[in-house]
Amino acid sequence: MQFTAKQIAEIVGGTVEGNENITVGSFGKIEEAKSGELAFLANPKYEEYLYSSNADIIIINEAQILKQPTTATLIRVADAYSAFALLLRQYERMQSQQMIGIQEPVYIHATVKKGNDIFIGAFAYIGENVTIADGVKIYPNAYIGNNVIIGEKSIIHPGVKIYHDCIIGNRVVIHAGTIIGGDGFGFAPQINGSFKKVPQMGNVIIEDYVEIGSNTTIDRATMGSTIIKSGAKLDNLLQIAHNVEIGNNTIIAAQSGISGSTKIGNNVMIGGQVGIVGHLTIADGSKINAQSGVSKSLKNKGQIVTGSPAYDFTAALRSQALIRKLPELEKRVKALEDELKKLNSIKAE
């Protein structure tokens, strides 16, 4: 697909400086872009490439001051990064709209309710009483269990497994290899030291506009629902246990694990490799630093914690500053001890 600078400027609400009829068909990083590609400049440290880039069109901020002429056609916008992201989304949407139909071979149960303009890729399995709304894309080798509901324009990437009775909202994106609705880790200890499995009878509900990275697992509830609320963004390789609730617009980075029945509020930010124990409450707006271990509820909105066990981030910075001074403090204490010994020896004489 080819687009002119004028068309791109209309999409992002920008102003063209240069040839408005020049066309591009793909994207590139400003330092590596070739002729026929579009790039953007948002980070000042890459400004030198603005003047040497081979890109035919470059999106820049309105406030960007040119220090020398450029060969590229420029599109000025309020926020270059956001404008470029918008273009990528539009491009992806156009490509996705071209994929409509059902490939063969697939298994689709006779009771499945199919909306308009859907795509189902080869070797997908769609179980009984599944509802697939308008515009849904289900890529090859996906498994959709019985009674699953998938909302409008959601995208299920290759190899995703969605177990029975789970509900997926509108415009949800689930990336390859993710498993939704596997059994929660429920085992009751027995007198003889063995463990007896507790049936997991609930489901998983994923609300609208959620995106879930590759190879993440979200367990079904023991009873009730594990819930991922609207706008949440989950990275790759996460473990979300049974009966967890994740609030609106909360973001969680890779390799984090959340134990059963923990409730995470809205607009929470959780770094990579964070561990959160079960049955906690994490207040709205909390921020948890990477590799932290959270063992107690965070009850104050906007609280920032770090470390394992996690504690107040500001206090942690003060502690780190003191730790760096310990060698100097040790020398001073040693000097004071030496002076004290001298004084004591003088008194003894």
Q: Please write the tens of the pLDDT for every residue from 17-26.
A: 999 999 999 9
Q: What is the C-alpha to C-alpha distance for residues 227 and 245, in angstroms, rounded to an integer? A: 5
Query: What's the pLDDT score for residue 151?
Result: 98
What's the whole-number mean pLDDT along residues 279-307?
Answer: 96
The dihedral sign for the CA sequence 100, 101, 103, 108: positive
Query: What's the pLDDT score for residue 81?
Result: 94
* Structure token digits, residue 78: 């309020």
Residues in the chain: 349
Q: What is the C-alpha to C-alpha distance for residues 229 and 30, in angstroms, rounded to an integer? A: 36
pLDDT bin (cut points 50, 70, 90) of residue 7 is very high
Bigger pLDDT: 148 vs 326: 148
Of all residues in the chain, what percent carry a pLDDT higher than 70?
97
Residue 319 has pLDDT above 80, yes or no: no
In 10 A of CB 171, how many CB atoms?
15
Place of tokens 């003047």: 51
Q: Which of 83-87, 132-136, 208-212, 217-221 has the lowest mean pLDDT?
A: 83-87
Cis bond before residue 327 (omega within 30° of 0): no
pLDDT bin (cut points 50, 70, 90) of residue 349 is low
Burial class (CB in 10 A: 0-12, 13-18, 19+), 138: buried
Query: What's the pLDDT score for residue 340?
Result: 85
Q: Are 226 and 220 in contact (CB under 8 A)?
A: yes
Query: What's the pLDDT score for residue 328?
Result: 85
Q: What is the C-alpha to C-alpha distance for residues 317 and 289, in angstroms, rounded to an integer? A: 12
Of all residues in the chain, what percent carry a pLDDT higher than 90?
83
Q: Is the pTM of this model over 0.85?
A: no
Place of tokens 């290759």: 158
pLDDT bin (cut points 50, 70, 90) of residue 48 is very high
Query: What's the pLDDT score for residue 84?
Result: 93
Cis bond before residue 189 (omega within 30° of 0): no
In 10 A of CB 161, how many CB atoms?
19
Q: What is the C-alpha to C-alpha distance for residues 51 and 98, in angstroms, rounded to an integer? A: 36
The dihedral sign for the CA sequence 108, 117, 236, 274: negative
Q: Are 67 and 50 in contact (CB under 8 A)?
A: no
Closest CA to 204 of 154, 249, 145: 145
Q: Which of 97-106, 142-151, 180-189, 209-218 has the lowest mean pLDDT?
A: 97-106
Q: What is the C-alpha to C-alpha distance for residues 218 and 240, in angstroms, rounded to an integer? A: 5
Closest CA to 298 of 289, 311, 308: 311
Bigger pLDDT: 78 vs 337: 78
What's the whole-number mean pLDDT along residues 327-346?
Answer: 83
Residue 310 has pLDDT above 90, yes or no: no
Query: What's the pLDDT score for residue 155?
Result: 96
Q: Are 243 and 259 in contact (CB under 8 A)?
A: no
Eight-class DSSP state of 231 = T
Query: What's the pLDDT score for residue 191?
Result: 96
Query: What's the pLDDT score for residue 58?
Result: 96
Q: Which of 148-152, 210-214, 277-281, 332-336 has the lowest mean pLDDT?
A: 332-336
C-alpha gyration radius of the chain: 28
Residue 197 has pLDDT above 90, yes or no: yes
Instruction: Give the pLDDT confidence of 239-284 residue by residue, as tens digits.
Output: 999 999 999 999 999 999 999 999 999 999 999 999 999 999 999 9
Q: Are 266 and 260 in contact (CB under 8 A)?
A: no
Q: Are 73 and 56 in contact (CB under 8 A)?
A: yes
Query: What's the pLDDT score for residue 348?
Result: 67
What is the layout of strands, in order, in the sheet containing 287-288? 101-102, 119-120, 137-138, 155-156, 173-174, 211-212, 233-234, 251-252, 269-270, 287-288, 304-306, 311-312
**What is the rounded average pLDDT for all residues in the chain?**
93
Query: What's the pLDDT score for residue 330?
Result: 83
pLDDT bin (cut points 50, 70, 90) of residue 318 is confident
Query: What's the pLDDT score for residue 54?
Result: 95
Query: What residues are annotated to the active site?
Result: 242
